[in-house]
Structure 1
Amino acid sequence: MINKGRINVRVQRRRAGSLSSLRARFHGRRDADGLREMLADAYAGGAPLAEDLPPYVLGLHAQVRHSTARLRSRTLAAHRALHIRIQSESVRVVNQYTERGEPTPAALARFGEWVAEWRSAASVCRQQAQQLADEANQLIACYWDAAWARARRGDQVGGRRPAGWLPGRITLDGTWAHLDDGLLSDRWYVPDAPGRDTDPSAVAQALHILDHQSARGRSDQTRHGDAPKGSRR
């Protein structure tokens, strides 16, 4: 059974509450005069480069990077024993299925249970990281709304802020794309390293065996389920 207490790794989050939103709007109003050219260019359809973003927005980026890295490290630390069991059992699975050619469903089922527990924990971790990014994006929107309103009041820009215009929008990087990469820790930090799949580790091979066997089992169940009644032997 999955231990929810172990999965729910807590980190201090920047909630986009009323106080944080007020601060974001304050910074936006304060910075509006220095953003006149950027806002005028946005009204004409342009968008600033990343290096031209204001310090407040860059600060939110830094906070999200720090918080998500901390979240990731705490998830790994909280599931250290599980990680070790998966590493150890993967060698046994690969040895039985690949080297000896003697499938052991019990060992694969045990390995699958531990992997499922890890995937649940990694999924929660990713959802929490996405929440951090979403909350920061709310503050970025408050910042630009306030800056635009102040600039419009001074006749520096006209109309409303263009829909979808949100310079500095925060998105999770590619290291969060695959839950199983946490079992191959180097992939969390160098997801696109050349040659990463040329010599797969025992864990990578065992995961392939697990998913392949699961897919085969579902396929067999589908065929049997569609077979006419009485045709099974």
Structure 2
Amino acid sequence: MINSGRTGGSARRLRIGFLSAAVARGHGRRDALGLVDLLATAGDGPDPGDDRLPPYVLGIRAQLTRSTTRLRSRLLLGNRELVERIHAESVRVVTQYTVRGEPAPAALARFGRTVGDWRSSAAVCRSRAQGLVDEVNHLLACYWDAAWQRAGRELAGRGLADRVPELPERRPSGWLPGRAELDATWHRLDDGLLSDRWYVKDARGTNSYGPSDPGNAKGGHRLSGNTAPGTPAPAAPAAVEQALAILDSQATYGTPAAAGGGPSPRSGGR
């Protein structure tokens, strides 16, 4: 059963409640005149980079990072026993399928159940993190709307319209500098079982050993044809990574007898 302790704790505690929409609008009105040059370029190319964003926008994005990090840490803390069990079961699966070459449906089913439990908890946590992102983007919209309206009124009232491009009545709907998004690690739930994947990106932006290449689960990395002779092969992937590839592909590696008929004497009861 999924409970709040195993899915990142209560999202209510992590809400950026003190940064209300009213406060966001207040900051936008206060910063409006300093943002005129930025507002005048709305819709002309991509949104401005972080070096041009006002402190308010940078501040709530930093708060978002802190809040999602807390969600992730609570997910790991609440599921630490489950993760340990997944690591233990993965060794059994890899041993059966890659070392002994014998399918073990029962072992794979137990492993699949624990992985399914993890993925369910991680998916709930990701949904809560996405909720925080949506809240931050709502506050950003309030901020930029208020800045846009105040800047337009100030320019007209001070007679500066001839020196500064006139702003449209409303902010372009797709223009939201500082827009918040979940980073890619939140969309790869199984990376939580290999925590180094949160900080090291591979060339494809995905796991090196996922369902797209289940054959790699048999024996480690394959050297490409361009690899120089004598180059040592990279270290074999972790057991969890190999077991996940076996599980997701539903592949069975073993002798023809074991793969084509009933279970072997040693694998049927595992």
TM-score for both structures, normalised by structure 1: 0.84
Summarize the Cα distance change of 1:138–1:102 in structure 2 as closer, same or farther, 3 Å threshold: same
Partner residue of 1:205 out of 242, 247, 256: 242
Shift of 1:110: 0.6
Give the aligned partner of residue 4 of structure 1: 3
Written as runs of structure 1 = structure 2, the 5 A alignment for 1:122-141 is 122-141=122-141
Give the aligned partner of residue 119 of structure 2: 119
Kindly indicate whether the alpha-carbon contact (under 8 Å) linking 2:5 and 2:74 is maintained by their aligned counterparts in 1: no
* Alignment partners' CA distance in 2, 1:87 and 1:167: 42
**Aligned: 1:13 with 2:22:** no
Give the aligned partner of residue 175 of structure 1: 185
Summarize the Cα distance change of 1:46–1:7 in structure 2 as closer, same or farther, 3 Å threshold: closer
* Alignment partners' CA distance in 1, 2:131 and 2:10: 13
Give the aligned partner of residue 83 of structure 1: 83
Shift of 1:44: 5.3
Give the aligned partner of residue 101 of structure 2: 101
Summarize the Cα distance change of 1:171–1:3 in structure 2 as closer, same or farther, 3 Å threshold: closer
Give the aligned partner of residue 58 of structure 1: 58
Could you say what secondary structure the match of 1:102 adopts?
A: coil
Summarize the Cα distance change of 1:85–1:142 in structure 2 as closer, same or farther, 3 Å threshold: same
* Alignment partners' CA distance in 2, 1:82 and 1:214: 24
Kindly indicate whether the alpha-carbon contact (under 8 Å) linking 2:4 and 2:10 is maintained by their aligned counterparts in 1: no
Question: Any gaps of 5 or more consecutive residues in structure 1?
Answer: 216-233
Q: Deviations over 1:141-193 (max 9, x none)?
A: 00000000001112364222112010000011111121111111111222337
* Alignment partners' CA distance in 2, 1:209 and 1:46: 42
Shift of 1:85: 0.3
Summarize the Cα distance change of 1:70–1:109 in structure 2 as closer, same or farther, 3 Å threshold: same
* Alignment partners' CA distance in 1, 2:128 and 2:151: 35
Kindly indicate whether the alpha-carbon contact (under 8 Å) linking 2:25 and 2:147 is maintained by their aligned counterparts in 1: yes
Give the aligned partner of residue 110 of structure 2: 110
Q: Deviations over 1:67-120 (max 9, x none)?
A: 111110110010000000000110010000110012111111111000000000
* Alignment partners' CA distance in 2, 1:206 and 1:5: 28
Shift of 1:16: 6.4
Kindly indicate whether the alpha-carbon contact (under 8 Å) linking 1:16 and 1:139 is maintained by their aligned counterparts in 2: no
How many residue pairs are counted as aligned between the two chains? 213
Compare CA radii of gyration and give the structure with the larger one. Answer: 2
Kindly indicate whether the alpha-carbon contact (under 8 Å) linking 1:137 and 1:169 is maintained by their aligned counterparts in 2: yes
The residue type paired with residue 250 of structure 2 is Q
* Alignment partners' CA distance in 2, 1:43 and 1:114: 48
Question: Any gaps of 5 or more consecutive residues in structure 2?
Answer: 209-220, 222-235, 253-270
* Alignment partners' CA distance in 2, 1:131 and 1:111: 30
Deviates more, 1:77-86 or 1:168-177: 168-177
* Alignment partners' CA distance in 2, 1:21 and 1:39: 20
Summarize the Cα distance change of 1:44–1:111 in structure 2 as closer, same or farther, 3 Å threshold: closer
Give the aligned partner of residue 158 of structure 1: 167
